[in-house]
Amino acid sequence: MLLVHEFLEHSAQRLPQKVALVCGGQRFTYAALDAASNRVANALRAKGVQRGDRVVLWGPNLAEMVIAIFAVLKAGAVFVFVNDASKPHQLAQVVNNCGGKVLVTTAAKARHAAAELATLGTLELVVVVGGEEPPPASPRFLEWSQCLEHAEEGPLASGCIDRDLACLIYTSGSTGEAKGVMCAHHQVVFASASILAYLHGTEHDVVLCALPLAFDYGLYQLLMTFRSGGTLVLERSFAYPADCLQRMAEERVTGFPGVPTMFARLLPLDLSSYDLSALRYLTNTAAALPTSHIERLQQKFPGVAIYSMYGLTETKRTLYLPPEELGQRPGSVGIAIPGTEVWIENDRGERLPPHEVGELVVRGGHVMSGYWHAPEATAARFREGPLPGERVCYSGDLFRRDEHGFHYFVGRKDDILKCRGEKVAPKEVENVLHELEGVQEAVVVGVPDEVFGQAVVAVIVRTAPTLTEREVLRHCRARLEDFKVPQRVEFHDDLPKTSTGKVRRADIVLRGG
């Protein structure tokens, strides 16, 4: 039985003086992080944190947040990471939903959310990190430095087993209503092992993470790196790509996880002044990379393995495309991750043969436990599997597979448009738009139309200001059926995005109404 915090403990025993974390100009060895997390775990225990309690973390990518994750687990509790970009009322929704007992945040955030914090009945303690300002004067507040005054010896055994929860990861999905995905220790352990297996992760890897730790893609960079004994270079964000590239060169980074919006910002840059010779692989998930971007990444990073992947929080990772298949199947997100199984079903629950479109169903040890206190949503997503008592995950995403078993994302079931009585997958149109030179980002949305049912509208961020609507439509007509060709094109300076880089389609304001 392996528990998630033992990723850190085992690496500290094996590689105590190795640098585990580079963050904010500081370098931490495995031994130092292990000792600090013990101290904070003992502080939490002293304040009454018990097995199964929920501890909410709200803040940016800080070393203290890394330590807090492992401290919470060592105390036997469950960590709940709320995104740094979340507003106080959104934090309050999460704390109320999960019954959070402790909040770990910065002094500035604690002051900003003072009104909301005063209303949270389950919240007993606020631990303040990462700021020079003292916390508000209250017995409910504890400074991080006070936590580090506790004993360095590991806390007494929590009694946790691998079926206990390690974390809740809140995801809004397509409804916009946040739900806490329950992730047990054994599920996180399985998922991390499976991903490390196909990435061939070792203690020699140096991974640069500019993704939020509140995003499961970012969180797993931390967990997998510490499990393998590698080094994590943790960045606050990808706001300044040149700084991240410089850090990649300085730290001899071997792995870089990104999302399409990050890679779109990399592609126009001249990389010749950065020594990226240590780079071994790039990974992409959150949304599928356009084929044209994959081709350009291959040119920018010759000899670097590029992994196109697909996942959802409810299963962590689901599919990956072996890099050697990229040339033959650039539009695919691949096969099931090691030790798991997937298939495609129609609305009648029948498994579909190759080339037919249906919902992807996922089976394996990475299928999470359900949604926190949301039985109806859990029953809809996690349904009966092939074995009595087993549950599989219905992804809500439409896929097709080829005769060789490689899968192709078609679109979210909720995103499919109906134009002239025909179904239009926005992803297919977006791929065609990305082929056009001068298109940096493209999103396809539908608007109500009395004639067509829904009119297809292309929203484009362009790098070439001379690109015109006429050129875009001509390009689409040459590659798409008539009913899939956008009725109009709008050029925007940028697109609204989540903190994890996903485009917020619902927040796109069209100029044409």
Q: Is 213 among the domain residues?
A: yes
Q: Would you say residue 461 lies in a domain?
A: yes
Q: Do 93 and 230 have their domain in common?
A: no
Number of compact structural domains in the chain: 3
> How high is the pLDDT of residue 360?
97
Q: State residue 174's pLDDT score.
A: 43
Question: If you compute the radius of gyration of the chain from its CA atoms, what whole number of angstroms results?
Answer: 23
| One domain, residues 346 and 452 | no
**Interatomic CA distance for residues 441 and 463, integer angstroms:** 9
Supply the DSSP symbol for 131. Answer: -
Distances (CA, A) of 37 to 106, 136, 277: 18, 24, 34
Phi, psi of 319 (to 5 degrees): -135, 150
Q: What pLDDT is attached to residue 455?
A: 83
Residues 362 and 451 in one domain: no
Helices (H), 114-200: 114-117, 144-147, 185-199
Q: Does one domain contain both 353 and 399?
A: yes
Angle 8-9-12 (CA atoms, 0-180°, nearest 5)?
85
Residues 371 and 272 in one domain: yes
Answer yes or no: do 328 and 452 share one domain.
Answer: no
What DSSP assignment string belongs to 142-154?
EEHHHHTTS--SP
The answer to whether residue 3 sits within a structural domain is: no
Query: Domain check: are 434 and 400 in the same one?
Result: no
Looking at 361, 382, 411, which one is the last position of a domain?
Answer: 411
Domain CATH code at residue 302: 3.40.50.12780
Question: In the block, which residue shows the tokens 């528990």?
Answer: 3
- Complete DSSP assignment for 275-340: --TT--EEEE-SSPPPHHHHHHHHHHSTT-EEEEEE--TTTS--EE--GGGTTT-TT--BEEPTT-
Examine residue 179 and state whether it is found in any structural domain, yes or no.
no
Looking at the structure, do residues 305 and 196 belong to the same domain, yes or no?
yes
Same domain, 488 and 456: yes
Q: Tell me whether residue 166 is in a domain.
A: no
> Which residue's structure tokens are 């608007």?
447
In one letter, which amino acid is 133?
E
Q: Is residue 366 part of a domain?
A: yes
Same domain, yes or no, for 360 and 246?
yes
Cβ of 488: how many Cβ atoms within 10 Å? 16
Regarding whether 147 and 194 lie in a shared domain, the answer is no
pLDDT at 376: 95
Of the residues 356, 381, 411, which one is the last residue of a structural domain? 411
Consecutive sets of 10 residues in the chain, 513 residues long: mean pLDDT of each?
A: 96 98 96 97 96 97 97 98 90 95 94 88 91 63 93 85 97 68 98 98 98 94 98 94 96 95 88 96 84 88 94 95 92 95 95 96 97 95 94 94 94 74 77 87 81 80 88 88 86 81 78 67
Asked if 87 and 62 count as a contact pair (C-beta separation under 8 A), the reply is no
Tokens of 432: 């065609």
Domain contains 173: no
Alpha-carbon dihedral angle through residues 67, 68, 69, 72, given to the nearest 10 degrees: 130
177 and 96 Cβ atoms separated by less than 8 Å: no
Q: How many CA atoms lie within 13 A of 444 on its CB side?
A: 27
CA distance 149 to 153: 12
Please state the pTM of the whole predicted model.
0.85
Residue 275: C-alpha distances to residues 82, 233, 245, 357 (Å): 35, 16, 9, 43
- The last residue of one of the domains, among 411, 435, 458, is 411
pLDDT score of 452:
65
Same domain, 46 and 131: yes
- Does the residue 384 lie in any domain? yes
The two three-digit tokens of residue 501, written as one number: 């880089």
Q: How many CA atoms lie within 13 A of 174 on its CB side?
A: 12
**Percentages of the chain per state (helix, strand, coil), in multiples of 5:** 30, 25, 45
Contact 256, 248 (CB under 8 A): yes
Residue 30, SS3 per DSSP: helix
**CATH number of domain containing 116:** 3.40.50.980
Range of the domain at 86: 27-160
